[in-house]
Amino acid sequence: MAQLRSVRVRFAPSPTGELHIGGARTALFNYLFARAQKGTFILRIDDTDLERSRPEYTEGLLNSMRWLSLDWDEGPYFQSRRLEEYNREAARLLEEKKAYHCYCTPEELAAGREQARKAGKPYLYPGTCRNLSREKARAHLAAGRSAVIRLRTPDHGETVVRDLIRGEIRFNNSDLDDFIIIKSNGLPTYNFASVVDDTQMQITDVIRAEEHLSNTPRQQLCIEALGYEQPRYAHVPMILAPDRSKLSKRHGAISVEEFRSRGYLPEALINYIALLGWSPGEEEIVPLSKMVSLFSLDRVSKTAAIYDTTKLTWMNGYYLREAPLDRIATEALPFFEARGLLKAPLEKEEEDYFKKVIATVRDRVKTLVELAEASTYFYQEISSYDPKGVEKHFCKEGSADLLRRAAELLRNVEPFDLDTVETAYRDLSKELGVSTGRLIHSTRLAISGRTMGPGLFEIIILLGRDKTVSRLEKAALWIEEL
RNA sequence: GGCCCCUUCGUCUAAUCGGUGAGGACACCAGCCUUUCAAGCUGGCAGCAGGGGUUCAAAUCCCCUAGGGGUCACCA
């Protein structure tokens, strides 16, 4: 079908918490759709819930979006600054008798619901105030009752939602009641505010989580009453927690900020969440720019996905290994600072060394937290030796001597470079009549405190002659004191 | 409970008008490589929720059952 209007989509979070991966993925899909269609991506903050909305959450939301490089073209718009729009539209509906004031108290409504529950019947607002006489209304007002505004919805017929992902979904209007569009505090409800904004902002495609599917007929009814054109809808599957329940804070790391602080790279997180509900085709490692050219809604699945950080972690390791060194250095620095290994800003020399350390260590870690952890011995003296390693490599006869001979060798070897040191080391092991492995393993433990890590000779060269020699001697002494 | 959506390896998914030994990725296991740990390479394990139809032929279409999820607020 020919595209008449250029595409306009929006991501409309409510600032009641940090951006979590479900929201991030909805934002991503909107972003991809907009970019793929050369359309406009709008950010709107749905902050009509006075109780729960916090400005600091808005700030966090924006930060997370920026960090993920989900840049938007318009906004952020704030619903709280558009209240006159909702009131104007509501007034028009009132005028046209498509909406009406309702004076029922929350207590009365709750009582009705309770009664329905007891009777095992579904509760629908009974329409008490639907055709209230002027006198009755005045009486309620005089009695100090406050009013809400409800939409007058059809009792018969059906409302059909045409969903780009799920096809036609039919709802009986008789199952829908006259729901509230303006609360007694004068603020619009979600279903109404959302619709007024979407129409006024000329949103062409509403792409959002499946949890909104059931609300869609209500919104379509609003749009119909307002006399506007319906947007297209696409409800993307939910992301569920590992226990199959709806994502919430109790499920551990689910906010973008948390992933960030746990040492995940934005490109890895983006790539991973894209795969939750969307399939790029053959290759799963897809950078954001590539995603744009590959993205289409008909490759979005209908099935809810359970998120599982195992694959994300693998992917993070991949990006950690493959990304340009400078980029990793930038991302890693805060983690090195947090461990007290470095303090920004770095001197030129410090920075060069830092990059060398990262280059040798990054191949075997999966997160930036691990990267910093695995780099400590390049910055700090050895405070303890791995106990299992001690048992294996330090407790054998002659271990201390072995290390002393190694120290002696390294003190004198020229030039102090990878090949020369390695050759000398192999020669030494022959001369001493021990396996090369034995010599290597005990050296590694002595200079890094660990049994695993980068190639030994890389560590030695990077650490430098002086530190290596002194650590070997220190270890020899330590063994003798055992 | 009413309404709505969904159901392919443990997890993410492919198989887009019915014809495949049901493909890939992560994880797991084994082997190779190797100074350790990773990485990499090779191989392996593992799935169409169940039951009925329709059809020469069903993961794919229809119905039922079961399971999961969502929603029914003066939350969004």
* Contacting residues 331-390/A vs strand B (CB within 7 A): 363-364
- Whether pTM exceeds 0.90: yes
A4 — pLDDT class (breaks 50, 70, 90): low
pLDDT band at A1 (very low <50, low <70, confident <90, very high): very low
Closest nucleotide C1' to the C-alpha of A303: B6
**Does residue A106 reach within 7 angstroms of strand B, measured from its CB?**
yes
Q: What separation in angstroms does the CA of A13 have from each of A20, A77, A307?
A: 10, 11, 20
Distance A303 CA to B49 C1' (A): 14
- Per-residue pLDDT tens digits for A143-184: 989 999 999 999 999 999 999 999 999 999 999 999 999 999
Q: What is the pLDDT of residues A121-135, one digit of tens each?
A: 888 999 899 999 999
> Whole-number Å distance, CA A161 to C1' B62?
23
Report if CB A284 to strand B is under 7 Å.
yes
Crossing angle, helix A465-480 and helix A436-448, to 10 degrees?
Answer: 100
Burial grade of A397 (CB within 10 A; 0-12, 13-18, 19 or more): exposed
Phi, psi of A160 (to 5 degrees): -110, 125
Separation in Å: B50 C1' and A304 CA: 21
- Asked if A474 contacts A435 with a C-beta cutoff of 8 angstroms, the reply is no
> Which residue's C-alpha is at the least distance from the C1' of B35?
A437
Nucleotide nearest to A189 (CA to C1'): B74
Q: How many angstroms is C1' of B27 away from CA of A314?
A: 10
Judge whether residue A444 contacts strand B, using its CB and a 7 Å cut-off.
Answer: yes
Cα separation, A320 vs A367, whole angstroms: 7
Contact predicate A270/A28, CB 8 Å: yes
CA–CA distance, A206 with A229 (Å, rounded to integer) = 13
Active site (catalytic) residues of A = 249
* Residue corresponding to tokens 């006259």: A178
Name the nucleotide nearest A14; use CA and C1'.
B76
pLDDT value at residue A2: 47
**Residue A481 — pLDDT band, cuts 50, 70, 90?**
confident
